Structure 1
């Protein structure tokens, strides 16, 4: 009887050891996966910070162009408002802003490990960036239509160009400020991973 009890005890101990080893292996595997996911999320965020930093520089530069063009177009606008039309030359540009890092973070699933506040801010920021670019591209396409170039529509065309430039100068400011605010708010959490040039005082 004692032998039987000893055998059962040993069997029970082996069973407990095996279960413990399996649970430990599963726990370690889960920890490794979570650690890898966290590293993937951090890499994705660093790339997004770099993308936003570059986009901000491009938008700020284009904003200066809008301001310069506004001054030029205002001269044409005033000449038509005063019935003293002058020869005009209109233009419009839109910066090519990147969303590659944001798209990669989405496609790899890295965003599931983002802080929820960061994810919400990024979603809003990239949505506004997309609207900004889409509207700019649509206006540039409109400028290339025959109707836009008809001389009898000159005053309306100049007014339209002036209005679009004002809108995009304003949107550029909003977008640039939003980029800077994101970096300023969330950059310090990742300062060890980001170049000093990216961080905003």
Structure 2
């Protein structure tokens, strides 16, 4: 009887040891995964900050050119409004904005560890950026589909170009301000993660 009790005691001890080892292994594995997820989220966030800052510089660099183009197109617009035809060449350029860091953060699932409020703002930023980009691309495609050499199209093209440049300048200023506000609001929270090149006020 004593042998049986001793055998059961040993079996129970081994069972508890195995369960403890399994739980410890699962706990360590979970901790490792959580640690890896946190590092992935931090890396993704740094890349997004760098991307937003680069996009802001691209947008701001183009704003003065819109003023020049608006002034040039205004000359043509005024002439056409007076009924004076003028040789006209289409003028419009737009910044190339990146969304690679945002796409990678989404595809890797890194965004699940982002602060919810910040994630919502990032989503709004990249949605507006996409709208901004699509507007410019669609405008250029539509203008290249119109024969500018036909007199009946010339005034409409000039009016459209003038309106598009003014709209795009306004949107550029708005987008730049949104980028800047994001960096200012969240940059201080993650300052220890960000490189010195990200200027946080």
Aligned to 2:103: 103
Distance in 2 of aligned mates of 1:30 and 1:166: 54
Contact preservation (8 Å) 2:76, 2:88: yes
| Per-residue deviation, 1:5 | 3.1
Which sits farther off after the overlay, 13-22 or 159-168? Answer: 13-22
1:82 match:
82
| C-alpha distance in structure 2 between counterparts of 1:188 and 1:7, whole Å | 62
Alignment size in residue pairs: 201
RMSD: 1.7
Unaligned 5+ runs, structure 2: none
The correspondence of residues 51-66 of structure 1 with structure 2, limited to 5 A, is 51-66=51-66
Shift of 1:197: 2.9
1:188 corresponding residue in structure 2: 188
The aligned counterpart of 2:22 is 22
| Structure 1 stretches of at least 4 aligned residues deviating more than 4 Å after TM superposition | none
Structure 1 gaps of 5+ residues are none
| Per-residue deviation, 1:169 | 0.6
Query: In 1, Cα distance between the equivalents of 2:32 and 2:40?
Result: 12
In 1, Cα distance between the equivalents of 2:16 and 2:135?
65
TM-score, reference length from structure 2: 0.92
The alpha carbon displacement at 1:87 in A equals 3.6
TM-score (norm 1): 0.92
- Tell me the CA shift for residue 3 of structure 1: 4.2
